[in-house]
Amino acid sequence: MTSQALDEIKIGGLGSSRKRVEDDRFIRGRGNYTDDIVLPGMLHMEILRSPLPHARIKSIDASKAWEIPGVHLVLTGEMMATRNLAWMPTLSYDTQAVLATDKVRFQGQEVACVIADDPYIAKDACEAIEVDYEPLPVIVNPWQATADGAPVIRDDKVNQADNVVYNWEVGDRAGTDRAFEQADVISKLELHYPRSHPSPIECCGSIADFNRATSKLTVYMTTQAPHIIRAAVAMVAELPEQMIRIISPDIGGGFGNKVPVYPGYVCSILASILLERPVKWIEDKTGNLISTGFARDIYLKGEMALRRDGKILGVRMHTDADHGAFFSDAQPSKFKIGLMHSAFAAYDIPAAHLTARGLYTNKAPGGVAYRCSFRVTEAMFFQERMVQAAADDLGMDQAAFRRMNFVRDDDFPHRTPFGFLTDSGQYAKCLDVGLKAIDYENFREEQAAARQRGRLLGLGISTMTEPLGAGNSREYDILGIKMFDSAELKVHMTGKAILRTGAKTQGQGHETTWAQIVAHELGIPADDVVVEEGDTDTAPFGMGTYASRSTPVAGAAVAMVSRKIRAKARKLAAHLLEVSEEDVEWELGRFYVRSSPGRGVTIQECAMAAYSNMPDGMEPGLENTAYYDPPNLTWPFAVYIVTVEVDPETGVWDVLKMVAVDDCGVRINPMIVEGQIMGGLTEAYAMSSMQFITFDADGNCVGSNYMDYLLPTAWETPGYELHSEVVTPCPHHPIGAKGIGECAAVGGPAAFVNAVIDALTGTGVRNIDMPVLPDRVWEAITYRRDVSGAPPVRQDE
């Protein structure tokens, strides 16, 4: 680097914690969320939902609703059916009811909707619709689903004779069986990862605007994946794809909740087409929690074959996933249970086998959501809970057991027991950093001393590595569409630029971070690069933002398009400097003549030349697009360690300290990365301590509003100590980054649960299902037994 290279941090390149561009409008209250948008002539839609979880619809009488002044349209399933819109395809090759016709299949299912001048009137009219239901028996868990004589929930499907969605398996059954035969100790664990919900504060919504004069349908929508929506709408509404424009404006949190296609979107689109006016639908929190894409709700039977010295010989897992009434997950189509088979990727285990089954139940559809990276949250939770139990069963120290089974630094590339290829990591070093930060040795002494005085302290370790950046076109697709992503960069003549990608930020700060990649590659100050996402008319095709895929895929595309631009700029530089291209060198922001470094041109001068002084035969302009098909997934790694104190009398537990050691490769913006980690840790804390959706014996949803679905406030949420010392760049990513958005939500929950279980050492308790509520802890301590949280909720007779 010569003396004229720009200071990368000063221009907001990689590693700069530049302040966020997005903030300027949000702190002024000038965000542009879907519900903020007002179109002339706009009408408002409200949805009537089923109060019953499983019932035949005998009749729907909407006559009184039609009579209410201000009502323009009432839609029912019957009306949708005449237009072939009562059912729609899901992202998992199943079908989902838009508005119920024959039956309702979960409490909260959409039954009708009203479009009126004002949402208050629309709600009044919903109340006036009379539905006659005939209740049917209810299914709220997998064993009810598979019991003899269980009602078939999906009797709408030809060839569906039971409530099984799929059976799937992966791994080496024979090798695993052999491992178990050779085991000195077999450790077993069964648990339930409860139903949770991403619950961003902003609910889902759409404004559909069909313009009869232009035949164009514009839909403003809370979606993390506008291009997928455009394709889905083209299929479902049978409109030509070029006449559909999906605009995803500012989104108040996604976390996977805003990926699926929801009935409300479809109804608002049809209503707009019928009424030829914009129709706005904004759901309420109850609608969001009771009907939109939930997360988890999956049961594990896990076994580990162990050698006496602590070596893990093999792992067997069986999972039963409760999918609700429709199989509607957004996930790579090849893998029925998502990336569950990423479990144990960081451990050197010779053989593993996973069987997975999916069940229909009378609950909202979903399963893949909530910072889960396509079920990696479940995989890593199961993994770390099994590891905890195994270490205890062997009488080994938790840290030592993990360390001895980790993949070693020089074992990469490493083929995991389920067939993934991991490429980089320093697992033991992360563990060392974490143990030092939590003062592990001293803690164990303190813990022992406290136990003598009747105080229960506990320490929980959790590790995770995850396959981020879905994904390579050989193996990954959603509904057959490959999961590449894109970036389009247009450099203007004054050297400023506009960048658009196929991702869609919902708080991750893309407007800030993508510009940093451009600054890194081109030396254009990040402040000079404006970033836009979310409008399918202008953004290059991409598969959206979820599963932490943006930095690995779209971010890579940003780097690649910047390099394409730089390659052309190099030609322009050679032309301006009157040398051949081979004589031109690059330093940040500038091309110079190798033999005479003082002679150079800035990138801005090259930009101007692209419009005013091109060499003969060169196409003018300095704009390009890149589509990136990732060669492999990236594999960040983390260690999370928590210490807690449990009050044995009440079962209440408090966090004493939490330490997070995240190795996510190169960090584009350290401040933003830390924000993502803290957000994920808080969701981990929420799931482990208080937040869940469950069902009573009648199928009523418990947790369909914020009085029962508990998000922690600033008061309960612990503080976090974050560590960034360990950086293992991704060997194949253009800037060595790995992705971070979900890591803490993936790895965090087990740390909290393991800590409480550790505090209960000596009681024989091996498992308490999340959320680890005070009453469950008390029951475990008092009766010295495991506590399950599976639905139905225990109730008085």
Partner 1 sequence: MFPPRFAYEAPHSLDEAISLLHGGGDYVKVLAGGQSLVPLMKLRFASPDMLVDINNVPGLDYHRTDADGSLHIGALCRHADLEHSELLAGTQPTMASAAPKIADPLVRNRGTLVGSLCHADPQGDWASVMTALGGTVIAQGPRGKRAIPLAEFVTGPFQNVLEPDEIAIEAVVPPAKGTRAGGYLKLERRVGDFATVGVAVAIETSGDTVARAGIALTGVGGSTINATEAAAALAGKPLTAETIAAAAELAAAAAQPKTDHRGSAEYKRHMVSVFVKRILSAGNGTAAGTSTERAA
Partner 2 sequence: MTIVYDDLGDEAASEVPVRKIRFTINGKKKVAEIEPRLLLADLIRRGLGLTGTHRGCDTTNCGACTVLVDGKAIKSCTMLAVQVDGREVETVEGLAGQSELHPIQEGFKQEHGLQCGFCTPGMMMATKALLDRNPDPTEEDVRWALSGNLCRCTGYQNIVKSVLWAAEKLRAEA
Among 172, 177, 284, 585, binds partner 1 (CB under 8 A): 284
- Our answer to whether residue 384 is catalytic in this structure is no
Pair 148, 79: CB distance under 8 Å: no
Which CB sits closer to partner 2, 207 or 349? Answer: 207
Which CB sits closer to partner 1, 274 or 710? Answer: 710
- Our answer to whether residue 371 is catalytic in this structure is yes
CA distance 247 to 253: 16
Pair 318, 300: CB distance under 8 Å: yes
Q: Which of residues 187-206 bind partner 2 (CB under 8 A)?
A: 199-203
Catalytic entry in 113, 372, 701, 743: 372
Which CB sits closer to partner 1, 335 or 653? Answer: 653
Q: Which range in 35-43, 338-346, 439-447, 571-579 contacts partner 2 by CB under 8 A? A: 35-43
**163 binds partner 1 per the rule CB under 8 A:** no
Q: Which of residues 495-534 bind partner 2 (CB under 8 A)?
A: 506-509
Which CB sits closer to partner 2, 577 or 693? Answer: 693
**51 binds partner 2 per the rule CB under 8 A:** no
Which CB sits closer to partner 2, 336 or 504? Answer: 504
> Which positions ≥6 away from 432 have C-beta within 8 Å?
none
**162 binds partner 2 per the rule CB under 8 A:** no
Q: For partner 2, how many residues bind (rule: CB under 8 A)?
A: 61
* Strand-by-strand arrangement of the 637-646 sheet: 456-465, 637-646, 653-663, 721-723
- Our answer to whether residue 444 is catalytic in this structure is no
> CA–CA distance from 720 to each of 426, 660, 674, 682, 756 (Å)?
22, 7, 10, 9, 18
Q: Which of residues 215-244 bind partner 1 (CB under 8 A)?
A: none
Pair 459, 470: CB distance under 8 Å: no
CA dihedral sign, ordered 711, 713, 716, 720: positive
**794 binds partner 1 per the rule CB under 8 A:** yes
DSSP alpha helix (H) spans, 614-761: 670-689, 743-759
**393 binds partner 2 per the rule CB under 8 A:** no
x/- track of binding to partner 1 for residues 680-709 (CB under 8 A): ---------xx---x-x-----x----xx-
CA distance 248 to 199: 18
Contact partner, 299, from partner 2, partner 1, none, Cβ < 5-8 Å per class: none
Q: Which residues pair with 529 in a beta bridge?
A: 497
**598 binds partner 2 per the rule CB under 8 A:** no
Task: Give the residue from 216, 236, 362 showing the smallest Cα distance to 291.
Answer: 362
Contact partner, 649, from partner 2, partner 1, none, Cβ < 5-8 Å per class: partner 1
> Which positions ≥6 away from 746 have C-beta within 8 Å?
371, 372, 373, 376, 377, 380, 381, 464, 466, 680
Which CB sits closer to partner 2, 29 or 395? Answer: 29
Residue 731 CB coordination number (10 Å)? 14
Among 31, 119, 175, 252, binds partner 1 (CB under 8 A): 119
Pair 364, 402: CB distance under 8 Å: no
Catalytic entry in 590, 606, 742, 766: 742
Catalytic entry in 371, 549, 566, 667: 371
Which CB sits closer to partner 1, 513 or 694? Answer: 694
Q: For partner 1, how many residues bind (rule: CB under 8 A)?
A: 35
> Which positions ≥6 away from 11 have C-beta within 8 Å?
519, 523, 524, 525, 526, 588, 589
Pair 631, 733: CB distance under 8 Å: no
State the angle between helix axes of 398-405 and 427-438 in degrees (0 to 180), rounded to the nearest 10. Answer: 170
**679 binds partner 2 per the rule CB under 8 A:** yes
Residue for token pair 């938790």:
398
Using left for φ > 0, alpha for ψ between -120 and 50, and beta otherwise, residue 122 falls in: alpha
C-beta of 782: minimal distance to partner 1 in Å?
A: 8
Q: Which of residues 232-271 bind partner 2 (CB under 8 A)?
A: 250-255
- Our answer to whether residue 190 is catalytic in this structure is no
DSSP 694-735: EE-TT--EE-SSTTTSPPP-TTTPPP-EEE-------SSSTT
x/- track of binding to partner 1 for residues 630-669 (CB under 8 A): -----------------x-xxxxxx---------------
SS3 annotation, 394-445? HCCCHHHHHHHHECCHHHCCEECCCCCEECCCCHHHHHHHHHHHHCHHHHHH
| Contacts with partner 1, residue ranges (CB under 8 A) | 119-120, 123-124, 127, 284, 647, 649-654, 689-690, 694, 696, 702, 707-708, 710-713, 715-716, 773-775, 778-779, 793-796
| Contacts with partner 2, residue ranges (CB under 8 A) | 19-20, 22-31, 33, 35-36, 38, 67, 69-70, 72, 117, 120, 199-203, 250-255, 284-286, 506-509, 671-672, 674-676, 678-683, 705-707, 711, 713-715, 717, 719-720
Q: Which residues are catalytic?
A: 224, 371-372, 742
